Amino acid sequence: MEYQQLLIAFCFYSLFVHQSQLTYARKHLCTRDEAFYLLQLKQGLTVDKNAYYYGCDSEAEAKTLSWNATRDCCEWGGVTCNGLTGHVIGLDLSCSFLIGTINANNSLTKLGHLQRLNLALNVFNDFPLGNSISELSSLTHLNLSDSGIFNERKMIPPGLCKLSKLISLDLSGSYIQVGRTTFTSLLHNLTNLEVLLFDDVYASFELPKKFPSSLRKLSLQGTNMFGNITDSQLFRLPNLQVLGLGDNPSLTGTLPNFHWNFSKSVLELDFSYTGIFGKVPDSIGILRSLWRLNLFNCHLSGSIPESFGNLTTIRELILSGNNFTGNILSTISKLNKLVNLHLSSNHFRGSIPESIGNLTAIRELILSDNSFTGNVPSSIGKLNKLDSLSLSSNNFEGSIPDIFANFSELNSLDFHSNNFVGPFPYSIATLTHLDGLELQNNSLTGPLPSNISGFQNLFNLDLSFNYLTGATPPWLFQLPSLMSLSVQANKFTGELPNELNMSSSVPFIDISYNNLHGEIPYWMLFMSIDSLDLSHNFLTGFEKQVWHSEYLSYLNLENNLLQGPLHQSICDLINLAFLILAQNNFNGSIPDCLGNSNRLISILDLRMNNFHGEIPTFLSTGLQYLGLYGNQLRGQVPRSLVNCTSLVALDLGNNKFNDTFPIWLEKLPNLQVLILKSNLFHGPIGDLESEFPFPELRIFDLSFNGFTGTLSSNLFKSFRGMMDVDEGKAGISRSWNGTRRDYFYHVSLVIKGNEFDMRITSIMTSVDLSSNRFEGDIPISVGNLRSLVLLNLSHNSFRGHIPAEFTKLQQLEALDLSWNRLIGEIPGQLSSLTFLEVLNLSYNHLAGRIPIGKQFNTFPNDSYCGNPDLCGFPLSKECGNRNEHDDDDDSYFMSGFTWEAVAIGYGCGMIFGLLIGGLMFLLQKPKWYVKFAEDIAQQIAAKKRKRQKKRRQKRGLSMN
């Protein structure tokens, strides 16, 4: 039917053409059959505006729309005819929103005179024409790039190898693959081939040995080819201008010695993301015409040869992500055509020479993450075309020169993590295009300017970790494009601005660790903030305030001077997931709404306040951390907590809870931390019921309560979390590029005798049952807790022997069994606990010889005092044959004191205190939070992409 319609249309066409031939006597009309074939081609394909590619003009009209019988087909969009014969010789249907299949017997095969065929940037279901592509035997140019979204990678048909006239073949970015045989025969048969672009075509075989010597452009980026490039014939091709081998991690070898023959023509070399290693050869300097060199993320090392200074035409030089060393900047400063210079993530040294001012064309100067030193020369001020300037993560020093007034195109300025001192350079605040400003982690001093004229486009402002002083000026909070404001850890003083001219909506604000006073301003409660951190300041006034920000999901007011009861409006913050109010003076009761099951609340940290009353019924299954340490809370532990199956840490320490052991918590599958210390808990622990009780528990602290009874022999039998700590599961902090915060909750732990309030950042396991009234034997099942680091059973009434099973606790660093009623000898096997740093066995009824060797040589005598029947090193009391006159230095020093006096005077009152570094695990970030952070990260990434695209366009222009 369609075919009939086509025929009818075609008859009209013929009629029209004949008439117009008569009327205008035009010379160059396409032949009837070719017009028919074209219409047939059009008929078989669908035009769909959704088949729109990045880079195509989405507003443009589909080219085939102009194809109709009333016009000479040589005037149709995308069609080119031979001026004499009228044959269709060119067909350009790129970006035509075409969808469909072009079959092997499609009429397109009949366009036998076709020389140029461009079907790029459409969506075909298979390789157009399949093997019949061979019938287009006149083809010189074939472009099928970005023209396939197939379900499976289709093979490139071997028929392609018969197109021996091909000069240019571009299949980049189509979802296809090529076999080794087809590719080799392509290279062998297409003897005129000048351009071969196969980027992202899957070609998982060894880089071929032979290439046609006619090649000018060869790009095999991201093909998966492997092999050694060092001796490749590619580097002898006399006409090669562009060589792209990047994105093939399995290509290895060293860079070759470049030959004179090769050097005359070559313009672009891309080896990024390959496995090439070794040094850059001296001969690189003979590549006189080189325009672009990309060595990003290879394994190259050594210093850059002096001959680099001969690459005087180079515009884009990317050496980032290698192990290059040496001083490079004075050589580079000769290359005054440079537009993009990326040296980041290497080990380059030296300072920036004044001569850097020669690079007057430069747009991207990226020196971050190296070992550069010295001051920033003021000649940088001449580089006023700069778009991105990054000096971050180096050892630059001195003040940042105030030279930015003319940098009207600057988008990104990144000086973070250096040793810069002096004031905030005022001229930066005049920049209108800036979208990222990162000066964090320096030693900048003085106030911020009180008024600014730039920053209209500023997206990310990070001034954190400096010594900036003075007030926080109002403009900080009313930058129209700002997404993220980080000024934490400075010395800002005074009050937050009282009033703003416009209501801003900076979604992420961190002003923590400053010296701000006064009340939290009214406007802040209305802003559409997602994340607000005002912690560690001297702010007041929260109690009166009504919060309105419906977006607020992270609120951290820790360590301020806030007081009074929580305003009921806290219940209106329906998206709140992190609420951190620790270390203030809040009182009153905890609002019931915080426990509601429809809440997103995930982190509730109210430690060190004066909350009193009972705690609400918590039903939220998303609750991960409940920190109530150090309040006046009383009553029982609400049984509803058994519903909070995500709970990772429950810290009820230092309150007035009066309850028996909440044994029902044994069922919580994720509970890692249970702290009940210093309350009025009482009674026996009871019998565990689950097969795997407390499966993830790592920190178990019941100290300073009134627990009684014996410990059941299977109490420790199956605390799997303390048996084999799975580091992956514990979620050790991974570097996460989302830029937002990780929440490291605090727990208060007695570590080796000292109490620490610590942030849990890495693996840590601890059992503290001290200062209760437990009795009976120490269960030998303690020996199962193979990953245990701290064990404190002191100040109880344990009897019996020290179990020899303790020797299985190979990770143990501190063991305190003091003030019990233990008897017998100290098991000699304990000397195998090689990490044991602190041992306290004092005030028991232990007897006999203290074991010797290994760790036991390191413990002081106060580890043993109060056990009158112990003897041997380090005590002065000898075992067996006591010899009063055997005076070594120690006993000489101690002569005149009784043993007890020494022990009490020097030993037992002493606090052991060795803080072990970086403890513990990180909470899994809840899904919504990751989402929020990703949103911001994505917006930043989108901005960057836009910028890159702009750059690419500019580059394209300058290249042509």
Structure-token pair, residue 532: 């607000």
Q: What share of the chain is helix, strand, coil (3-state, %, to 5)?
A: 20, 20, 55
Q: Is 43 or 214 the residue whose CB approaches ligand NAG more closely?
A: 43
Nearer to ligand NAG, 21 or 105 (CB): 105
Q: Which two tokens stand for residue 250?
A: 């399995």
* Rounded CA separation 251/871 (Å): 68
Amino acid at 250: S
Region from 29-37, 62-70, 318-326, 463-471 binding ligand NAG, contact rule CB under 6 A: 318-326
288 or 759: CB nearest ligand NAG: 288
867 counts as binding ligand NAG under rule CB under 6 A: no
CA dihedral over 373, 379, 383, 386, signed as positive or negative: positive
Q: What is the DSSP letter of 905?
A: I
Q: Which is nearer to ligand NAG, 132 or 408 (CB)?
A: 132
How far lies 899's CA from each of 340, 842, 862, 903, in Å?
76, 13, 11, 6
Nearer to ligand NAG, 559 or 655 (CB): 655
Containing H/E element for 41? Answer: helix 32-43
Nearer to ligand NAG, 43 or 575 (CB): 43
Question: From the CB of 309, what's the least distance to ligand NAG, in Å?
Answer: 5
| Shorter beta-carbon distance to ligand NAG: residue 599 or 677 | 677
Q: Kindly indicate which of the ranges 307-315, 377-385, 729-737, 768-776 contains the residues binding ligand NAG, using the contact rule CB under 6 A.
A: 307-315
Compute the least distance from the CB of residue 286 to ligand NAG, in Å: 6
Are 94 and 143 a contacting pair, CB within 8 Å? yes
Q: Which of 445, 658, 831, 939 binds ligand NAG (CB under 6 A)?
A: 658
Given candidates 323, 568, 938, 958, which one binds ligand NAG under the rule CB under 6 A? 323
Closest residue by Cα to residue 584 from 635, 543, 637: 543
What is the enclosing helix (H) or strand (E) of 347? strand 347-349
For ligand NAG, give the closer residue by CB, 263 or 456: 263
* Least separation in angstroms between CB 323 and ligand NAG: 4
Beginning with the edge strand found earlier in the chain, give each strand of the sheet holding 46-47 in spatial order: 46-47, 98-100, 123-124
Q: Is 246 in the site for ligand NAG (CB under 6 A)?
A: no
As measured in angstroms, the least distance from the Cβ of 129 to ligand NAG is 9
Listed in sequence order, the residues at least 6 apart from 59 whose beta carbon sits closer than 8 Å to its beta carbon are none
317, β-bridge pairs: 293, 341
Q: Using the minimum distance from each CB to ligand NAG, give the nearer residue, 306 or 934.
A: 306
* Contact pick of 104, 593, 894, 904 for ligand NAG (by CB under 6 A): 104
Long-range own/partner contacts, residues 449-453 (CB < 8 A, 24 or more apart): 449/424, 449/473, 451/475, 453/429
Nearest to 291 by CA among 337, 236, 343: 337
CB-nearer residue toward ligand NAG: 80 or 307: 307
Q: Cβ closer to ligand NAG: 680 or 901?
A: 680
Which listed residue (189, 307, 384, 660) binds ligand NAG by CB under 6 A? 307
Does residue 419 bind ligand NAG (CB under 6 A)?
no
- Please identify, among the stretches 45-53, 69-77, 305-313, 389-397, the one whose residues bind ligand NAG according to the rule CB under 6 A: 305-313
| CB of residue 813 to ligand NAG, shortest distance in Å | 31
* Least distance in angstroms from the C-beta of 497 to ligand NAG: 47
How far apart are CB 3 and ligand NAG at their closest, in Å? 9
Q: Which stretch binds ligand NAG (CB under 6 A): 101-109, 180-188, 571-579, 803-811?
A: 101-109
CA distance 244 to 195: 12
- Rule CB under 6 A: say whether 726 interacts with ligand NAG: no
Q: Does residue 296 contact residue 342 with C-beta atoms inside 8 Å?
A: yes
Please state, in angstroms and rounded to a whole number, the distance separating the CA atoms of residues 725 and 788.
9
546 vs 680, which CB is nearer to ligand NAG?
680
Pick the binder of ligand NAG from 143, 322, 583, 631 (CB under 6 A).
322
Listed residue (607, 922, 560, 601) closest to 741, CA to CA: 922
Q: Does position 950 bind ligand NAG by CB under 6 A?
A: no
Min CB(216)–ligand NAG separation in Å: 24
Q: What are phi and psi of 956, to 5 degrees?
A: -55, -45
Cβ closest to ligand NAG, residue 104 vs residue 823: 104
d(CA 721, CA 569): 39
Site string for ligand NAG, 195-234 (x = CB under 6 A): ----------------------------------------
Q: Which of 252, 310, 351, 794 binds ligand NAG (CB under 6 A)?
A: 310
Closest distance between ligand NAG and the C-beta of residue 322, in Å?
5
How many Å apart are CA 210 and CA 763, to the nearest integer? 55
Closer CB to ligand NAG, residue 75 or residue 306? Answer: 306
Find where tokens 């397109």 sit.
108
Residue closer to ligand NAG, measured from CB, 19 or 323: 323
CA distance 560 to 515: 10
Residue 600 contacts residue 577 (beta carbons within 8 Å): yes
Instruction: Write the burial class of residue 700 (CB in 10 Å: 0-12 exposed, 13-18 middle, 19+ buried).
Output: buried
* Termini Cα distance of the chain: 48
User: Smallest distance from the beta carbon of 119 to ligand NAG, in angstroms?
Assistant: 17
Nearer to ligand NAG, 678 or 818 (CB): 678
Cis, bond preceding 874 (omega within 30 deg of 0):
yes
Rounded-to-integer distance, Cα 136 and Cα 118, Å = 13
- Write each residue from 659 to 688 as x if it is in contact with ligand NAG (CB under 6 A), else as -, in one continuous string: ---------------------x--------
103 is an interface residue for ligand NAG by CB under 6 A: yes
SS3 assignment, position 340? strand
Tokens of 180: 């080794």
State the binding string over 607-646 for ligand NAG (x if CB under 6 A, else -): ----------------------------------------
Does position 254 interact with ligand NAG (CB under 6 A)? The reply is no
String of b and e for 937-949 (b: at least 16 CB within 10 Å)?
Answer: beebeebeeebee
CA torsion sign, 923 to 924 to 927 to 932? positive
Output 636 or 690, the one with its CB closest to ligand NAG.
636
* CA of residue 650 relative to chain centroid, distance: 29
Taking the complex as a whole, the smallest distance from the CB of residue 141 to ligand NAG amounts, in Å, to: 25
Smallest distance from the beta carbon of 196 to ligand NAG, in angstroms? 28
Under the criterion CB under 6 A, does residue 6 sit at the interface with ligand NAG? no
893-932 positions binding ligand NAG, by CB under 6 A: none
Q: Output the smallest distance, CB 82 to ligand NAG, in A.
A: 28
DSSP-assigned beta bridge partners for residue 228: 252
The reply on whether position 274 binds ligand NAG by CB under 6 A is: no
Residue 372 and residue 391 in contact, taking contact as beta carbons nearer than 8 Å: yes
Distances (CA, A) of 99 to 45, 57, 67, 151, 595: 6, 17, 17, 14, 54
Q: Is position 309 an interface residue for ligand NAG (rule: CB under 6 A)?
A: yes
**Binding to ligand NAG by residue 285, rule CB under 6 A?**
yes
Question: Which of 502/680 has CB closer to ligand NAG?
Answer: 680
Task: Give the footprint of ligand NAG on this chain (CB under 6 A).
Answer: 103-105, 285, 299, 306-307, 309-310, 321-323, 658, 680
